[in-house]
Structures are given as C-alpha cells and as structure tokens.
Amino acid sequence: IYIHTYIYTQIHTHIYIYMCIYLYVCISICVYIYMCVYLYVCISICVYIYMCVYLYVYIYMCIYLYVSI
C-alpha cells in the first residue's frame, strides 16, 4: 500500500511538473507570437514613416528642381 501510494505520488508530481512545463511552453509561444505581431506592427509603422519621409524628400527634390529650372 505504501509503495503504491509512493508511486501514485511520484506519478502525480511528474504530471504536475509536466503540466507546469507545458503551460510555460504554451505561455512562451503565446508571448513569442505576441512579440512577433508587435514587431510586425512596429516594422510596418517604421516602413510607413520611412515612406512618408521618402515622399517628402521626393516632393522637396521636385520643388528644388522646379525652382532651379
């Protein structure tokens, strides 16, 4: 009976540890996905700002050329 109880406790402990690891991995993946989405949004905003700056420079160059002519 004692051995059975010990084995049951060991299995239960292992299951508990496994669940914790599984949950940790799941949370890590979720955080990773969230970070990727966040990074993607950040990059998109950066690209958008870069495009705006590029457009501004382009317009400025056009005006400069127009004034020069």
pLDDT per residue as tens digits for the range 35-61: 878 878 877 877 888 888 888 888 888
Beta strand segments in the chain, E: none
Q: What's the pLDDT at 33?
A: 80
Instruction: Output DSSP code: residue 23.
Output: H
Instruction: Output DSSP code: residue 69.
Output: -
pTM: 0.40
| pLDDT at residue 6 greater than cutoff 80 | no
